[in-house]
A and B are shown apart, each in its own frame.
Chain A
Amino acid sequence: MASDTPRPYGEVYDLGYQHYSGPRLGRSHAIRALTIYSIKRGLGIKKKWTSKIMPALLYTGAFMPAVIVSGILAFAPTGVSFGYHNLFQIVSLVLFVFAAALAPEMLSDDRRENVLALYFARSITRVDYLLSKLFAMAILMGTMIYGPAALLFAANVLLAGDPIAYFFDHLGDLGRIAVSGALAAAFLAAIGLAVAAHTNRKGVATGLIIGGAFVLAGIAAALFNALDSNARDYVIFLSPMDLMEATSAWIFGNSPPGMAALAGVYHAAAMLVVIGLAAGIMYRRYLAED
Chain B
Amino acid sequence: MAPAWHGHDVSARATPEPVITASALTKRYGNVVALDGVDVSMPRAATGLLGANGSGKSTFIKLLLGLIQPTSGAATIFGLDAAGEAVRIRERVGYMPESDCLPLDVTAADFVAHMAEMSGLPSQAARQRANDILYQVGVDEERYRLIRGFSTGMKQRVKLAQAIVHDPELVFLDEPTNGMDPQGRDDMLDLIRRIYRTLGIAVIVSSHLLEDIERVCDHVVMVNEGRLVIQGRIDDLLEGGGDIIVRIDGDRDEFITRLRARGSAAAIAAADIVVAIGSEAPEAVYDRIRDTVVDMDVPLRLLRGRERSLEDVYIQTVGGLAGEEAMVAGGE
Contacts and interface: CB of A to CB of B under 8 A. Distances in A.
Interface in A42-77: 46-48, 51
B99 A16 contact: no
Contacts of A17: 5, 8, 132-133, 136, 198-199
Interface stretch (A28-36, A207-215, A257-265, A274-282): A28-36
A22 interface: yes
B238 interface: no
A118 B129 contact: no
A214 to B, nearest CB: 30
A109 B118 CA distance: 17
A10 interface: no
A34 B118 contact: yes
Interface residues of B, number: 48
B106 A290 contact: no
Interface string A14-42: 11111110111111011001100100000
A165 interface: no
Contacts, number: 114
A122 B132 contact: no
Contact of A290 (B4, B68, B117, B129): B68
B119 interface: yes
A155 to B, nearest CB: 37
Chain A, interface residues (CB within 8 Å), range: 35 or more
A23 B3 CA distance: 26
B179 interface: no
Given A16-B6, A17-B5, A290-B69, A29 B117 contact: yes
Interface in A69-116: 109-110, 113-115
A29 B91 CA distance: 13
B87 interface: yes
A117 interface: yes
A283 interface: no
B162 A20 contact: no
Given A47-B105, A125-B87, A119 B5 contact: no
A24 B198 contact: no
B314 interface: no
B interface, by DSSP: helix, strand, loop or mixed?
Answer: loop
A143 interface: no
Interface in B162-176: 162, 166-167
B299 interface: no
Interface in B88-106: 88, 90-91, 93-95, 97, 99-106
A254 interface: no
Contacts of A12: 1
Nearest to A290: B68
B102 A113 contact: yes
Contacts of B225: none
A120 B198 CA distance: 28
Given A12-B1, A122-B90, A117 B97 contact: yes
Interface of B: 1, 3-8, 65, 67-69, 87-88, 90-91, 93-95, 97, 99-107, 110, 114-115, 117-123, 125, 129, 132-133, 136, 162, 166-167, 198-199
7 contacts: A12-B1, A24-B120, A25-B122, A29-B120, A34-B118, A51-B105, A121-B93
Given A119-B118, A121-B95, A123-B119, 18 more contacts: A12-B1, A14-B3, A15-B4, A16-B7, A17-B133, A20-B167, A24-B91, A24-B121, A24-B166, A26-B120, A29-B117, A30-B118, A33-B118, A46-B107, A117-B95, A118-B115, A118-B162, A122-B115
